[in-house]
Chains A and B, each alone.
Chain A
Amino acid sequence: MASRGIRDRVCIVGMGCIPFGEHWDRSTEDMLLDAATATLTSAGVTLDDIDAYWLGTAASGISGLTLSRALRIGDKPVTRLENMCATGSEALRNASYAVASGAYDVVMAIGVEKLKDSGYSGLTRMSIPSDGTGWIMGDTTPPANFSLLAPAYAQKYGVDADELKDVMARIAWKNHQNGAKNPLAQFRKAVAKEAICASPLVAGNLGVFDCSGVADGAAAAIVVRAEDAHRYTDRPLYVKGLSFVAGKAAGSMDPDYDFTTFPEVVRSAEDAYAQAGVTDPRAQIAMAEVHDCFTPTELVLMEDLGFAERGFGWKEVLAGTFDLDGDLPVNPDGGLKAFGHPIGASGLRMMYECWLQLRGEAPPDRRITTVDRGKTLALTHNLGGQPGECVSFVSVVGSEPTA
């Protein structure tokens, strides 16, 4: 038994991403059509060229009809899937495997979410009949669930509470700095650290600026066999590794879990690195788009993904390691924090930034320097759930086939 992976067997040859934000005047169908059209244009193909579709949406539609109706696709397979906040990445993973299997030549993975039609703050959850004991994701909100990370981390590693607040603010500040340079981002303004620290509390010590943006959006990718990739583009992205882990949800009932790590992320990262042949992620990876749903999440992810030693992630954050001009830029597009987080679209939005940066297409003021220094790999990380019980996705993509 092994996770063999599909390194270099499929490529992304076209991507599109619409601006994320409060699209009061655009429907789910509008966003799907706009993202799909941009993606088809990017790859130089038409709907007729696509053999099959994977649609990721957490709660903005059901069944493949959500996409086929919007695009008037006829007589093609459309799979709708959901895997909480990693839904968009799941669409890409399954689409990639379909091509690698030989079942299809050209497929599209597309993710969409319409959050701003609900009228509520934050995310809402599916209504599943239950016994009312909160077993299915509990009574608490996502910011409350993730806020448990901060005090646990501070206590375990002896970080002063005020210092940790500075670390969290540094992460929010960085991602807003990056988002300010991104015309597609929901929030395109830099925010001062003082304003971040002074923002009203949402849960625990998380202020409004420690939370990702609630946005509408859509993004898509076209995947083909690697040997066909150059028919579509001179600079395809090679899929190096795709890993997905659904945890056994032990953290909510096992006293040994201490809220300073996501074991699911550790395992999915190990798996993805093995598939991709990555042995030193900190040194080999040019950039990472990670699931910064809340600022302490990004901090913990730096350690879980192997970008920083255990207990030292906070120092690396303060040192600027993950800044746009740092050794390992993290969330150069602004992340969930500034780009916004339409659930089903986020995983593909992350990949869109890899697509731009590894191909040298990011605008100059947001362009990372690690690519120029010869690094060719990028990572996306997408998770759903909460500390203690979550799903985690890690991908590694690269601009060059493995020698």
Chain B
Amino acid sequence: MVDNDGLLATEGGSDLAGIVAYGAYVPYHRLKRSEIAAVLGEGGGRGARAVASYDEDATSMGVEAARAALRRVPAGPVPERIFFATANPPYLDKTNAAVIHAALDLPPSALAVDFGGAVRSGVGALLAAADSRVPTLAVLSDLRTGLPGGGDEKEGGDAAAAFLFGGDDAVLAELIAVGATTDEFLDRWRTPGAPAGRVWEERFGEHVYGPLADAAFADALKQAGLSPGDVDHLVVAGLPARAVRRFAGGAGVRPEALADDLTGAIGNAATAQPGVLLADVLDRAEPGRTIAVVVLADGATVLVFRATAALAERRSQPSVAAQIAAGGDGLRYATFLTWRGLLNREPPRRPDPDAPAAPPSHRTGRYKFGFVGGRCDSCGAVHLPPVRVCVKCGAIDRMTDVPMADAVGTVATFTVDRLAFTPSPPMVAAVINFPGGGRFRCQLTDVDPATVAIGDRVEMTFRRMLTAGNGVHNYFWKARPVRGEEA
């Protein structure tokens, strides 16, 4: 570790201050802004925003980002803490990070904690993870909706990013300085349960943010012994667009150092935005380069990283750019509104699905959340779900856990169920065979029913199947087409 004498050198602090793995998740669906204008007759604009599917939420997207991160360090440190930040938590009172913990099949000894509510909690989770003395995973995720025709709807986006901080030779990017300023002012606010936030006149925010950002940036660079011209990649994140633009334009960095904020392609994922943009820079930054991340939210927070030689070896897959390129922009505005509960459509004439019950969900937790199956020690047959009696040879209690979440399968057969209850008909159900053994019947998601074919390669994805009448979110796994693979 170098130059680790800034704010991180807290009393008794460790030297665990680098990113050892990272991953981002951009959902498949894109809503073209012209779709909004086509329906509402005004507004819209160019480009698209990323849209979490009807079966995704901040937690499930966070799981996908965390899986992408940990997949790159199969033999690396196991997170001993998870800090999950979102301004759109699927549960209150109950810890959403516990769902992520379960989906990653982490040991019970790992701590899982939510950083809730405010957009700034995203960068806060990053800092807390960096300050942690044990390998810690920061998961940033957000799902942005807003009201029809509003700026949040148009400019917002849904995405997640995850960063594992640790301190061995495997560090990809060292955190070399941190700067922060805080002020209390009415820039943006949302009361709990409200569908959309409120903003004050943006010019006021621009006025207040300016000096806050300048001070934090200058402080961080001073600690790092850098001048603005030394910054190779500058990421500026934040919902106050005018203030973000003003700071980015006046920060003093070389013009080519300013990173694309991706809002044209996927929108602004608020709490997750700094994470997604940092991941995008890590996808391409050369070893030795300096990366500054500036987040404007109730003040300014600045993190300065330096890429190591290891980065070139262990970039995340698929990259942010690949995920953006693999998106599907066929989403209709009416479907988006339906998914977000803003267009109340006639339900199918089928009974509402039952809520999952607590005791069975807990008993089968490693399967339900972690997608851990069982392999028969006697004959090798793989079982999903895990069972005690082998379906092939009848051996009893001769099963070994077999993680299946990262297995790639093929569609053995499938059907389109136009009668089944689903929040977004029709349901596409498939029988998946895994080349390494095992069969799983499940729903396909992020898929056009007309293009599914027997033999398609599919990967597993963690989803919120539905939310029952009692408010319980039913999380489980679906399959989706393998997309965005890089050579």
Using CB atoms and an 8 Å cutoff, list the residues of chain A in contact with chain B: 118-122, 124, 127, 129-135, 138-141, 143-145, 147-148, 151-152, 155, 201-204, 248-250, 252-255, 257, 259
Contacts and interface: CB of A to CB of B under 8 A. Distances in A.
B420 A141 contact: yes
A143 B433 contact: no
Nearest to B349: A121
A121 B350 contact: yes
19 contacts: A121-B419, A130-B356, A131-B360, A132-B361, A134-B476, A139-B420, A139-B443, A140-B427, A140-B441, A141-B350, A141-B417, A141-B419, A148-B413, A148-B431, A203-B416, A203-B418, A204-B415, A204-B417, A253-B384
B354 interface: yes
A119 B420 contact: no
Nearest to B371: A133
Nearest to A149: B413
Interface string B433-473: 11001111111000000000010000000000100000000
Contacts of B465: 132, 139
A257 B441 CA distance: 12
Contacts of A143: 417, 419
Given A122-B350, A253-B438, A144 B417 contact: yes
Given A250-B391, A253-B384, A151 B413 contact: yes
B429 interface: yes
Interface stretch (B12-20, B57-65, B362-370): B362-370
Contact of A140 (B368, B412, B429): B429
B34 interface: no
B403 interface: no
Nearest to B362: A131
Interface residues of B, number: 49
B392 interface: yes
Q: Which of A127, A145, A255 has the most CB of B within 10 A?
A: A255
Contacts of A141: 350, 417, 419-420
A58 to B, nearest CB: 15
Contacts of B367: 133
Interface in B336-361: 348-351, 353-357, 359-361
A250 B439 CA distance: 10
B419 A130 contact: no
Nearest to A206: B415
A29 B353 CA distance: 29
A144 B420 contact: yes
Given A144-B420, A155-B454, A255-B412, A139 B427 contact: yes
A130 B429 contact: no
Given A131-B357, A140-B417, A254-B381, 4 more contacts: A141-B417, A148-B431, A201-B418, A202-B419
Given A139-B429, A253-B384, A253-B391, A148 B415 contact: yes
B417 A203 contact: yes
B99 to A, nearest CB: 13
A138 B441 CA distance: 8
Contact of A254 (B351, B357, B392): B392
A204 to B, nearest CB: 4
Contacts of B454: 151, 155
B350 A253 contact: no
B383 A253 contact: yes
B264 interface: no
A132 B413 contact: no
Given A132-B474, A133-B385, A254-B381, A203 B419 contact: yes
A133 B350 contact: no
B279 to A, nearest CB: 31
A201 B368 CA distance: 32
A202 B426 CA distance: 10
A55 B427 CA distance: 36
Interface string B380-414: 01011100000110000000000000000000111
5 closest A-B pairs by CB: A132-B356, A144-B417, A129-B357, A204-B415, A250-B391
Contacts of B361: 131-132
A261 to B, nearest CB: 14
A255 B364 CA distance: 23
Nearest to B432: A255
Contacts of B355: 132
Contacts of B413: 148, 151-152, 259
Q: Which of A118, A121, A250, A254 has the most CB of B within 10 A?
A: A254
Contacts of B417: 140-141, 143-144, 203-204
A31 to B, nearest CB: 23
Nearest to A142: B419
Contacts of A257: 439
Nearest to B361: A131
Contacts of B383: 253
B429 A133 contact: no
Nearest to A122: B419
A137 to B, nearest CB: 11
A255 B354 contact: no
Interface string B113-128: 0000000000000000
Nearest to A251: B439
Given A133-B385, A133-B476, A138-B441, A248 B391 contact: yes
